[in-house]
Amino acid sequence: EFLTSDSEGKIVKWDLNNEGRNFSLVYSGSGAIDVMAVSPDAGWLACAEQDNSIRMINLGGNEEEYLLNGHSGKIRSLLFSFDGKSLYSAALDGRVLKWNLAARTSVDITTGQTFITSIDVTTDNSTIAGISDRGEGLVWNTGSKEVRFTIGSDGRKISSIRFHPGGDQLAVGYDDGLMELWDIPRREKI
């Protein structure tokens, strides 16, 4: 199964194993949905709405959908924690929020130095990596707003950043196709 969204606000769930009708409408809104994330258990869909809110859609149970409000700029990145208890969001208002989904509250974990446009988090939720609006990589602890280190771009822009599931290594992809692997504890390129 996979999900798609369109410019009119429709989200469709596709089932490649179903030989009959292989899609179903999950949600129909009024504006484009540019960012989505599915929880690890595939039970919830988080999607960024045009009004800077996050719509939480239940994909399999009886719980009703709800909204998370906390950003004042367009949301650029959504990411569930590996245990599914938290959701991370980054927006053009310059803030990175960590949402407690049970309480439906958020904590600001922004570095305060720059706008973050894309994020990833380690499996233990202790370290977060983000791409700044200037194309640099930033790595910091989720419990602190201080940047541990910055990955410079040498005139290039970072377009993708992802942790290895073990959390000690970080893959960085640049807009010119170059990739690097970084050792997080040593803060150096491998």
pLDDT tens digits, 156-168: 999 999 999 887 8
Closest CA to 124 of 142, 138, 106, 111: 142
In the chain, the percentage of residues whose pLDDT exceeds 70 is 97
Residues 173-179: contacts with CB under 8 Å, at least 24 apart? 175/135
User: pTM value?
Assistant: 0.88
Structure tokens belonging to residue 180: 């690097």
Q: Distance between CA atoms of 38 and 187, rounded to whole angstroms?
A: 30
> What is residue 68's predicted lDDT score, i.e. its pLDDT?
97
In the chain, the percentage of residues whose pLDDT exceeds 90 is 56
What would the pLDDT profile of 69-96 be if each residue is shown by its tens digit?
Answer: 999 989 999 999 999 999 999 998 888 9
Grouping H, G, I as helix, E, B as strand and the rest as coil, residue 130 is: strand
- The band of 147, judged by pLDDT with boundaries at 50, 70 and 90, is confident
- For 23, the enclosing helix (H) or strand (E) is strand 23-28
Q: How far is CA 146 from CA 51, 91, 103, 150, 187, in A?
A: 29, 19, 26, 11, 15
